[in-house]
Structure 1
Amino acid sequence: MTTIKAAVCREFNAPLTIEEIELRAPQMGEVQVDVEAVAICHSDISFWQGGFGGALPAVYGHEAAGRVSAVGPGVQGVAVGDSVCVTLIRACGTCRCCGEGKPTICETPYDASHGPLTLSDGTPVYHGLATAGFAEKVVVDQSQVVTIPDSIGMDVASLLSCGVITGVGAAVNAAGVKPGDDVVVIGAGGVGLNAIQGAAIAGARRIVAVDMTEEKLAAAREFGATDGVLATEAKPFREVHKLLGRGADAVLVTVGAVPAYDQAPRYLANGGKVVMVGMPHFGQNATYSPLLMADAGQSIIGTKMGDCVIKRDIPWMVDMYQQGRLKLDELVSNRWRLDEINEAIADTMGGAARRNVILM
């Protein structure tokens, strides 16, 4: 067992506490990573708020990057000293979904209540999002990591572990945006900006950002949006129809807000699709008209982590970044220490930050 510092959640919606806890050594197929950077994602906040359930005490954080410091038996393709992104995508490789190339929805359950973390008295610590990245070190399954060049900064590399692959993948993989398509992205936060980048890379004709403030719409244009519409307008979907001359081929909802989901189908053209990216809290439900959507040949699809295959997609995105075709540095709003994590969470909840990154 190794003693590490971690930000521990003892009570939902209460400040995290920096504590010394115990981390066991990696077992069969597992990798230990010394975390150098971990970004704060809204999914971490939703877990901390109790919106996604889970046991306590817990350690959250899943958008991490660092260096491999130990490997368990049977590990292949990664070695001590490698720089890696650490994701929540834990895939068995043998279930039907994994066999069909869909590791983000692996069907093999993972018991996060009995992971590699314990308190000093042996009490299990919930292994949040199968990662527990708000800590000095993590032990994760080898399927959750992908090697990256040493030349890429760990702060920007951490963003590839969730926010970037989720947004870019939602456009490229889930929505299947193709050249000439018209795309609406609802929400111009961290994930939304990456969805915009993904739509631009895929060759979309028009990319319309919808958000609550002019500042967010200006940021969206920096990342490739061709147009912006304020969500505060009485019927923003009508403005989008005017801009496009029709509805959108794909509407990517990147915020976990039910009102955004309620309105999303109204932006669509015939044959268009709503792509569910942002995740409201459990029990919050949206409504839509099956009659109208079926009559127009429209659809709603879900996507988790951008339907990415990390060992295929993260190296591609790293290369795009190195070529200057994918913005990463511009996504980092602020850098914080681990002992400042509560302030970083509060800043993230304020809505202005693209991504706040904890540097160890």
Structure 2
Amino acid sequence: MQTIRAAVCHDFGAPLEIEEVRLAAPGAGEVEVTLEAVAVCHSDISYADGAWGGVLPAVYGHEAAGRVTALGPGVARLSEGDRVVVTLIRPCGHCPACASSRPTICENPPDGAEGPLATRDGGALFHAMACGAFAEKVVVGAAQVVPIPEDMPAESACLLGCGVITGVGAAVYAAGLRPGQDAVVIGAGGVGLNAIQGARLAGARRIVAVDRTEEKLADARAFGATDTVLADDAAPWRAAKAALGRGADAAIVTVGAAAAYETAPRYLAPGGRVVMVGMPHSGDAAGYEPVLFAATGQGMIGSKMGDVVIARDIPWMIDLYEQGRLELDGLVSRRWPFEEINAAIADTRAGGARRNVLVF
């Protein structure tokens, strides 16, 4: 085992502590990646707050990019020196979900307690989200990484590991938007801006962004929203329907707030669907009248990581980025030294950042 630095969560809700930890060499089918950048995602913060339970101590972080520096046995499609984006999607390749091209809901997720990390003295250290990317290096499955161009900025590339694929995929795959249809995107943060981009790429006629601040709505317009509505208005769904001239074919909820889910069906046209992306805390609940869904042919569907297949979809998105059709660079709010991770987390909590990125 080698020694690296990582930001460790010892207590839920407490600042992360940068310390030396042990990292095992890659095993069969695994690669070691020396990281260049890792983004701060709200999911990392929720996990570190204990919102969904979990095991401590742990290393979070799951939206990263870097360079392959070691290969485990049996890895054939990658070479040392390759630059890659690292994702948390680690498919087993043989369960019913993987066999039907839905690796984001693989039925055999890895056990983080059996991961490659250990404390400096050899104690247990949870490898969270199959990544543990708040660290100088990671060891992950070869299927979790996708090559990126040599000249692509790491701070932009790392966003393809989660926020971009989640938002774009929610619009393109989960919502199944078709040219001429209409979308409402609730929440104009990092994932919401990418859902807006996905709706635009899918050919949506109108895209209404809903958020609580004018600053976020200005971001939404810059990323392709045709109309914007303040969420704190008395009945924002009425303003959205007025802008559309009808209800939406898809209302994509990208914020982890039960209240947003409670009102989302109000934005829909008959036959429309709510796409559930944002993740409220465990125990939070929203209520509905089932008869309204039945009578209008509406529905609700969960979307995990945009329902993407990374080997197919990340190269597609990189191509769009290189053509200027998918904005990545503008998603980066600020670059922070890894040592300032707690300040970057605090800034993300404040709600104004598109994405804060830690650089090594």
Q: How many Å separate the matches in 2 of 1:164 and 1:358?
A: 17
Letter in 1 for 2:229: V
* Number of the residue aligned with 2:195: 195
Q: How many Å separate the matches in 1 of 2:235 and 2:336?
A: 39
* Alignment pair present for 1:4 and 2:4: yes
* Number of the residue aligned with 1:350: 350
Contact 1:62–1:132 (CA<8 Å) still a contact in 2? yes
Q: How many Å separate the matches in 1 of 2:147 and 2:289?
A: 45
Contact 1:44–1:60 (CA<8 Å) still a contact in 2? yes
Letter in 1 for 2:114: H
* Alignment pair present for 1:116 and 2:116: yes
* Number of the residue aligned with 1:269: 269
* Number of the residue aligned with 1:34: 34
1:202-260, Cα deviation, whole Å (9 max, x unpaired): 10000000000111111100000000000000110111111112110000000001100
Q: How many Å separate the matches in 2 of 1:314 and 1:289?
A: 38
* Number of the residue aligned with 1:253: 253
Structure 1 residues 318-327 or 235-244, which shifts more?
235-244
How far off is 1:109 after superposition?
3.0
Secondary structure of 1:207's partner?
strand
Q: How many Å separate the matches in 2 of 1:260 and 1:12?
A: 25
Q: How many Å separate the matches in 2 of 1:271 and 1:216?
A: 29
1:304-333, Cα deviation, whole Å (9 max, x unpaired): 110010010000000000000010010000
* Number of the residue aligned with 1:233: 233
Q: How many Å separate the matches in 1 of 2:269 and 2:326?
A: 28
How far off is 1:76 after superposition?
2.4
Q: How many Å separate the matches in 1 of 2:350 and 2:100?
A: 39
Q: How many Å separate the matches in 1 of 2:49 and 2:149?
A: 35
State the TM-score, normalized to the length of structure 1.
0.99
1:133-184, Cα deviation, whole Å (9 max, x unpaired): 0000000011110111111110100001100000001001111111001100
* Alignment pair present for 1:186 and 2:186: yes
Q: How many Å separate the matches in 2 of 1:279 and 1:76?
A: 36
Unaligned runs of 5+ in 1: none
How far off is 1:302 after superposition?
0.4
Taking only aligned residues, the RMSD between alpha carbons, in angstroms, comes to 0.6
Alignment of 1:1-360 (within 5 A): 1-360=1-360
Q: How many Å separate the matches in 2 of 1:120 and 1:48?
A: 20
Q: How many Å separate the matches in 1 of 2:231 and 2:54?
A: 33
Q: How many Å separate the matches in 1 of 2:327 and 2:183?
A: 19
Secondary structure of 2:178's partner?
coil
Contact 1:272–1:298 (CA<8 Å) still a contact in 2? yes
State the identity %.
Answer: 65
Q: How many Å separate the matches in 2 of 1:191 and 1:216?
A: 12
Q: How many Å separate the matches in 2 of 1:86 and 1:242?
A: 41
Contact 2:90–2:109 (CA<8 Å) still a contact in 1? no
Secondary structure of 2:6's partner?
strand
Contact 1:115–1:124 (CA<8 Å) still a contact in 2? no
Q: How many Å separate the matches in 2 of 1:198 and 1:241?
A: 20
How far off is 1:289 after superposition?
1.4
Q: How many Å separate the matches in 2 of 1:59 and 1:329?
A: 26
How far off is 1:52 after superposition?
1.6
Secondary structure of 2:168's partner?
helix
Letter in 2 for 1:132: G
Secondary structure of 1:151's partner?
coil
Contact 1:249–1:273 (CA<8 Å) still a contact in 2? yes
Contact 1:65–1:83 (CA<8 Å) still a contact in 2? yes
Q: How many residues align?
A: 360
Contact 2:253–2:274 (CA<8 Å) still a contact in 1? yes
Q: How many Å separate the matches in 1 of 2:83 and 2:214?
A: 38
Q: How many Å separate the matches in 1 of 2:338 and 2:18?
A: 8
1:38-90, Cα deviation, whole Å (9 max, x unpaired): 00001000100001211111000000000000010111211111000000001
How far off is 1:118 after superposition?
0.3
1:8-67, Cα deviation, whole Å (9 max, x unpaired): 000000000000000000001111000110000010001000012111110000000000
Contact 1:54–1:126 (CA<8 Å) still a contact in 2? no
